[in-house]
Amino acid sequence: YQIIQLGELILVGVPGEITTVAATRLKKALQVKFPSKNLIISSYANAYMGYVTTAEEYDLQCYEGGHTIYGRNTLAAMIKGFEDLAEIGLTQ
């Protein structure tokens, strides 16, 4: 996980291929931590862990859901990890 701030721009590095809906949910969660900043979600940051889908996409088990190797709660865990990382960065 990576969060890089360049002025008003926040780059969020995700180590997998995130679906559009999952990226939108991640972005919405992080906008609480970085209000009035421009957030960009970028996939394939330094690693690859398959797809990152929403729980609903995972349950459908289409191609992306079937290749979400850490299960239906991958996005929820990722959001929590990025929120924790953002909190650490904001306190320093």
Residue-wise pLDDT for 22-44, tens only, equals 999 999 999 999 998 999 999 87
Residue 84's pLDDT is what?
A: 95
pLDDT band for 92, please (50, 70, 90 cuts). Answer: low
Tokens 């459908």 -> residue: 60
pTM here?
Answer: 0.90
Angle of helix 20-33 relative to helix 74-91, nearest 10 degrees, comes to: 30
Tokens of 20: 């559009």
CA pseudo-torsion sign 39, 80, 70, 61: negative
Residue 89's pLDDT is what?
A: 75
Contacts of 44 (CB under 8 A, 6+ apart): 14, 15, 16, 17
